[in-house]
Amino acid sequence: MLEASGLVDVKTFDNESYPGTAIHEMGTAHMGKDQKTSVLNKQN
C-alpha cells in the first residue's frame, strides 16, 4: 500500500515487541458506570 502510493525504499521493522510492552500511554477512553465521567461503559 505504501509503495502503491508512491513511497520508495519501504522496509519492514521488528523491534521484538512482546505482549504487554506495547501499551498506549496516551489517549485513553475512561470506562465506567457514570455517563457524565465515562466515555465507554464497562463492556466497552
pLDDT digit string, tens, across residues 1-44: 888 999 999 888 777 776 766 666 666 777 888 888 888 776 77
pLDDT at 22: 64
> CA 23 → CA 8, 19, 34, distances in Å?
30, 9, 25
Residues 7, 10: Cα–Cα separation, whole Å: 7
